[in-house]
Amino acid sequence: MPSFDIVSKVDPQTLENAVNTAKKELQTRYDLRDTKGGIELDKKTNVITLTSENDMRVRALEDIVLTRLVKQGIDGTALDFTAEAHASGTMMKKEVKVRAGIDKDAGRKIIKAIKDAKVKVEAQMQDDQVRVSAKKIDELQAAIAVLRSADIGQPLQFVNMK
């Protein structure tokens, strides 16, 4: 029975390259040259920490990181900018999470989108991925087309087509 897996992951080396490029741009930008703080990536927890003197500069750092990620080929929806910047002494600090894996809510959205399209496939949640199986490969390709047009809120990759 043909199947494929739906995953959401970011290449760690590409992410690190994008953050390093953003750090270099921070040093060369005229409006942010004398800024204290900066951009840090915690590889273990997949969190990018932005620190600066005020909220406006933190938003400028967000913009720099987002543009560098997109230029490196990482989807912008892989970052979670929902957390608010908070004061840490005299500095403003914001933690931006990098989404890796499909959580339960996104898994439900994926399965609901497939069922609403009435494609003859079976979708089931497995840890941090969704496995989709069908009797024909054409039906799997139809499910992929449905998911590419749907707005799930994070980037999706389709792997292990068997």
Domain ranges (residues) in the chain = 3-8+102-159, 12-98
**Dist. CA 106–CA 24, nearest whole Å:** 34
Report field, pTM of the whole predicted structure over 0.85? no
Compute the CA torsion angle 100, 106, 111, 117 (nearest 10 deg). -110
Average pLDDT, integer, range 150-161: 86
Share of residues in the chain with pLDDT > 70 (%): 100
Q: Is residue 47 within a helix (H) or strand (E), and if so which, with residue range?
A: strand 47-52
Which CATH number, 3.30.70.860, 3.40.50.11260, 3.40.50.1100, 3.30.420.40, labels domain 3-8+102-159?
3.30.70.860
C-alpha distance from residue 55 to each of 23, 52, 88, 94 (Å): 18, 8, 12, 9
Average pLDDT, integer, range 117-140: 89
Question: Which pLDDT belongs to residue 17?
Answer: 93
Which tens digit of pLDDT belongs to each residue from 67-121? Answer: 999 999 998 888 988 888 888 788 899 999 998 888 888 888 888 888 888 889 9
Superfamily classification of domain 12-98: YajQ-like, domain 2 (3.30.70.990)
Share of residues in the chain with pLDDT > 90 (%): 26
| Higher per-residue pLDDT: 31 or 44 | 44
Residue 57 CA to its chain's centroid (Å): 22
Question: Which pLDDT belongs to residue 49?
Answer: 93
Is the separation of the CB atoms in 79 and 100 below 8 Å?
A: no
Assess whether the region 3-8+102-159 and the region 12-98 belong to the same CATH fold: yes
Kindly tell me if the per-residue pLDDT of 154 is higher than 90: no
Tokens at 43, concatenated: 């590889």
Kindly tell me if the per-residue pLDDT of 34 is higher than 80: no
Question: Which pLDDT belongs to residue 30?
Answer: 82
